[in-house]
Structure 1
Amino acid sequence: MNKFMDDDFLLDSDVAQMLYHTYAANLPIIDYHCHIDAADIASDKRYKNITELWLGADHYKWRAMRSCGISERLITGDASDYDKFEAYCSAMPSLIGNPLYHWSHLELRRYFGFEGVLSPDTCEQVWNLTKGKLAEPDMSARGIMKMSNVKLICTTNDPTENLESHIAIREDPSFDIPVLPAFRPDKSLYVERAEFAPYIKKFSECAGVEIKDFATLCDVLEKRIEYFDVLGCRTADHGMDDTVLFDGSVSAAQADSVADIVFRRAVAGEKIDAETARIYRSALIRKLAKQYTKHGWVMQIHFGALRNVSPAMFRTLGADAGYDTIHGGSGRVASLAAMLGALEDEAILPKTIAYSLNPAENTAVAALIGCFQRTGDEMEGFPCMPKMQQGSAWWFNDHIDGMRAQLTTLAAQSALGKFVGMTTDSRSFLSYTRHEYFRRVLCSVIGGYVERGEYPLDVDALAQMVCDICYNNTKDFFEFRVV
């Protein structure tokens, strides 16, 4: 029997242990997609206790606590911080097989030196230990990033944001970890939603221009892309939720014409039907993709989520509170293929990472990216990389089995050695341990191929592959200027 989460945790072969301990463990981290607030880094935020750091905005933990029958008052309500932490500890014994169990213990070990088991019995001990540690000088937002060997992160930012925190960080000589914005234009794409017209009004105020038609919207978005680019942005992220809403049957000119009519109707408060919304979105995606290609950005596409499925709790707590799920419908990959094909035909297909939240689509996505692989122009200082990537196991798939499934499917359908690896997709500064979790699973998967005689014990080749997947490929694919 293996010891609980010892040094060889998840490393189930001699090769896996060698690859992890010798090569993967100490590699730096590039977190190219996260939801950290740059203002917390600019201010070097400190946390008074573990509840603030762990439970303030973590809908993963909230869902787990609800699944254990814990009262909402102890999750998002007005209970004290200690009572909320105590409630989370009470859930821990029930979380066997849940990645939260592993993540929580990894975070306690790496940042607080706690080697025990988190449970109701150790609740007070861990509370006091973590509270004392968080009072130490290096346990601030910046200190945790440095401690984690982070080299660069990309936050997620709406086009209306002024990015003042990114500028402050950039101009601060005391902090040398680049914090780059990532462009998230979702609110300008969902023309059929009630929030669209108020958003366009806000966007107009931020831009200092009345956005009265589709052409003006595109001009303003282009200027915002240029602004983001000046501040180091290398990627745009699209949350396409339940499906990839793209109509490839309509030409670019036709889509532009429809989009202008739809835009004017939407800002006037008229209801927009699904079909015309799809055409509008197709037109705007074309405009955005052209700009991403111009600037050499990576387009990330997250799809397959079904959002806010509990109307009652959405009214109570709003979005991102743990009431999203996996969409089980079909047709998403075909729609994604239509979008990629149309962009390729018009020579505006940027480098792309496609993530599906539905694990049943793993093979389809891995196969699809092979249809659009082209080698782009080599940028000075960076080797050529394939144009298309399947995204890492995401959200509900961010566990041992989900990671293994994504890695082995990608290996079978594509070139695992060129994969861009892990990202936290997190709001927490302690989530960098998820890179360790991924690296352990990765070394186990690669070690398994060797142990079964499916790949030779070529240490140099294996070491290069591990280093590339964990760090180098990300740096090269996004063209990040880091060591």
Structure 2
Amino acid sequence: MNGFIGEDFLLESNFARELYHDFASDLPILDYHCHLPPSEIACNRQFNTITELWIEGDHYKWRAMRQLGIDENLITGAASDYQKFEAWSKTVPYALRNPLYHWTHLELKRYFYIDETLNGDTASAIYEEVNKKLAKPEFFARGLVDKMNVELICSTDDPLDDLSAHKQMSNMTDSFQLLPTFRPDRAIHIDQDGFIDYLSSLSNLCDVDIKDWDSLKEALSQRMDFFHEAGCRLADHGLNHAYGENFEDVEINKILIQRLSKGSLSANEILKYKSAVLCFLGESYAQRNWTMQLHLGPIRNANKALLKTLGIDAGVDSIGDFRQADQLAAFLNRLNEKDLLPKTVLYNSNPADNEVFATMAGNFSETGVKGKVQFGAAWWFLDQKSGIEKQIDSLSNLGMLSTSIGMLTDSRSFLSFPRHEYYRRILCNTLGNDIKSGLLPNDTKWIGKVVQDICYYNAKDFFKFSNPKESKKIF
């Protein structure tokens, strides 16, 4: 069966088609948040099979296959690469209306020029065709990035990382830039197993004896300075919710010493500690002119049996129903009152909270900064047609869509960059339908400029990214 991804995919009106083809389609990609392994970019990994490239580590696909009752051996087990690919291929027809169905066929077409639908009957031929192409350098890791007109990638990196892959990339002549993002959540989660061991590793790396609150701040500051020298200008946190409890430094010092002595903590003490660390980090980001990203709301690793077998990121997470507004408002306000609120991007995983996040973003502004606090693009379970449309609607109704910094992949896959195209098509379709309905004027020149801002120029200005061809040496 021939594919269905045509030139006007998702574009329902002439206005939408004009906005996308004339204004959005050719813009470069700034992927300012993803989970691509920097080492695989730096070494220009060659993938032996499409299974390695496409299914290895992709918990979205794993989750879909499990829901069809497919044996785990064909998902993450010892089955051959072809057996796993065939299992995924047989899954795809049943994933209709799931974003995986659209993403799968967009990726096959954009990277490998395959316009057939993937299913059990076409699996063998597509597997062989793609695998032959993977032997060519243009289909190695960096070649796949170049194919999608990517200008910049921001990885997600633990403070313990030596950033050697980023250093290696800074000395290369690729058309895109790879920059790190500071992700210090393991220093926040005082209630989790491994916390003391993590601080011990941080102590050894920084040559700082972390024995109290001041020494922890000293070590974290040292790592932030190291990341800054490597070109880092963004931090990221993946949390159930923000932490905005009131605290005093003297009690945080006592709480940390008690935990390092393997003592137990109350729920309130845990919340106070997390609030203190997050506040210190937010202030530190502002002082370094970094942007803070907050990914809030999911329940992670709900299936403890699979967590024990496969580890984290196994595809057993879900939307949470945490209370977001009070703690988030208190946290942002504390930083704002100190005049130390950095540029911030808020990502929401629960559609019931879209309006909370959209209105929260509008509470904090700064002269000369468009959208200082952003309601970020639809994320994780909401990163699909309906979720993207709802995020656009919430932001439009309650904020300023025109100041949005657009899309990101948040992905571990080198084939995920067409998600930017997916978002751009949906954005143009939404605005095009408004023109068609008379809700917006027939001024595609002006609205096209707004589209270009959302898809590229707002992020370029917001993060102050330099042109990679003009500034490669960051170490």
TM-score range, shorter chain: over 0.9
After superposition, what is the alpha-carbon deviation per residue over 1:132-170, rounded to whole angstroms, capped at 9, x for unaligned? 111112111111111110000100001111101101110
Paired with 2:401 and 2:220, the residues of 1 have a C-alpha distance of 35
- Which residue in 2 is equivalent to 1:178? 177
Paired with 2:142 and 2:450, the residues of 1 have a C-alpha distance of 30
Alignment pair present for 1:234 and 2:233: yes
Which AA in structure 2 matches 1:269? K
- Which residue in 2 is equivalent to 1:359? 351
- Quote the RMSD (CA, aligned, Å): 1.3
Which AA in structure 2 matches 1:184? R
Contact 2:371 2:404 in 1 (8 A): no
Paired with 1:264 and 1:310, the residues of 2 have a C-alpha distance of 33
After superposition, what is the alpha-carbon deviation per residue over 1:102-137, rounded to whole angstroms, capped at 9, x for unaligned? 101011001111111100000001000100111112
Which AA in structure 1 matches 2:463? F
Cα offset, 1:410, TM superposition: 0.3
User: Which of 301, 308, 311 is the aligned partner of 2:301?
Assistant: 308
- The total of aligned residue pairs comes to 467
Task: State the SS of the aligned residue for 2:271.
Answer: helix
Paired with 1:55 and 1:123, the residues of 2 have a C-alpha distance of 14
Contact 1:196 1:266 in 2 (8 A): no
After superposition, what is the alpha-carbon deviation per residue over 1:343-386, rounded to whole angstroms, capped at 9, x for unaligned? 1111111111111100100011101111112235xxxxxxx422
> What TM-score results when the alignment is normalised by the length of structure 1?
0.95
- Which residue in 2 is equivalent to 1:220? 219
Task: State the SS of the aligned residue for 1:120.
Answer: coil
Contact 1:191 1:272 in 2 (8 A): no
Paired with 2:99 and 2:275, the residues of 1 have a C-alpha distance of 37
Contact 2:291 2:343 in 1 (8 A): yes
- Which residue in 2 is equivalent to 1:379? none
Alignment of 1:202-351 (within 5 A): 202-240=201-239, 242-247=240-245, 249-250=246-247, 254=248, 256-329=249-322, 331-351=323-343
Contact 2:92 2:101 in 1 (8 A): yes
Cα offset, 1:176, TM superposition: 3.6
- Which residue in 1 is equivalent to 2:37? 37
% identity of equivalent residues = 42
Task: State the SS of the aligned residue for 2:416.
Answer: helix
Paired with 1:76 and 1:375, the residues of 2 have a C-alpha distance of 51
User: Which of 418, 421, 444 is the aligned partner of 1:433?
Assistant: 418
After superposition, what is the alpha-carbon deviation per residue over 1:283-316, rounded to whole angstroms, capped at 9, x for unaligned? 1122111111111111000111111111111111
Cα offset, 1:335, TM superposition: 1.1
Alignment pair present for 1:465 and 2:450: yes
Cα offset, 1:282, TM superposition: 1.5
Q: Structure 1 residue runs of 4+, over 6 Å off?
A: none
Paired with 1:295 and 1:60, the residues of 2 have a C-alpha distance of 35
After superposition, what is the alpha-carbon deviation per residue over 1:424-482, rounded to whole angstroms, capped at 9, x for unaligned? 00001110010011111010111122111111111221111111111001111111112
- Which residue in 2 is equivalent to 1:381? none
Paired with 2:417 and 2:462, the residues of 1 have a C-alpha distance of 20
Paired with 2:380 and 2:132, the residues of 1 have a C-alpha distance of 31
Cα offset, 1:271, TM superposition: 2.3
Alignment pair present for 1:447 and 2:446: no
Paired with 2:243 and 2:280, the residues of 1 have a C-alpha distance of 15
Paired with 1:114 and 1:176, the residues of 2 have a C-alpha distance of 25
Contact 2:291 2:345 in 1 (8 A): yes
> What TM-score results when the alignment is normalised by the length of structure 2?
0.96
Paired with 1:92 and 1:128, the residues of 2 have a C-alpha distance of 18
After superposition, what is the alpha-carbon deviation per residue over 1:64-121, rounded to whole angstroms, capped at 9, x for unaligned? 0001110000000000000000000111111110010110101100111111110000
Structure 2: unaligned runs, 5 residues or longer: 469-475
Task: State the SS of the aligned residue for 1:389.
Answer: strand
Task: State the SS of the aligned residue for 1:300.
Answer: strand
Contact 1:141 1:429 in 2 (8 A): yes
Task: State the SS of the aligned residue for 1:430.
Answer: coil
Which AA in structure 2 matches 1:108? L
Task: State the SS of the aligned residue for 1:353.
Answer: strand
User: Which of 336, 358, 374 is the aligned partner of 1:389?
Assistant: 374
- Which residue in 2 is equivalent to 1:380? none
- Which residue in 1 is equivalent to 2:12? 12
- Which residue in 2 is equivalent to 1:475? 460
Task: State the SS of the aligned residue for 2:292.
Answer: strand
Paired with 1:308 and 1:273, the residues of 2 have a C-alpha distance of 23
Contact 1:46 1:139 in 2 (8 A): yes
Paired with 1:34 and 1:184, the residues of 2 have a C-alpha distance of 12
Which AA in structure 1 matches 2:191? E
Contact 1:375 1:386 in 2 (8 A): no
Contact 2:183 2:236 in 1 (8 A): yes
Contact 2:146 2:175 in 1 (8 A): no
Paired with 2:155 and 2:200, the residues of 1 have a C-alpha distance of 24
Paired with 1:84 and 1:111, the residues of 2 have a C-alpha distance of 20
Paired with 2:63 and 2:467, the residues of 1 have a C-alpha distance of 37
Contact 2:361 2:373 in 1 (8 A): yes
Paired with 1:428 and 1:135, the residues of 2 have a C-alpha distance of 18
Paired with 1:273 and 1:473, the residues of 2 have a C-alpha distance of 43
Task: State the SS of the aligned residue for 1:279.
Answer: helix
Alignment pair present for 1:193 and 2:186: no
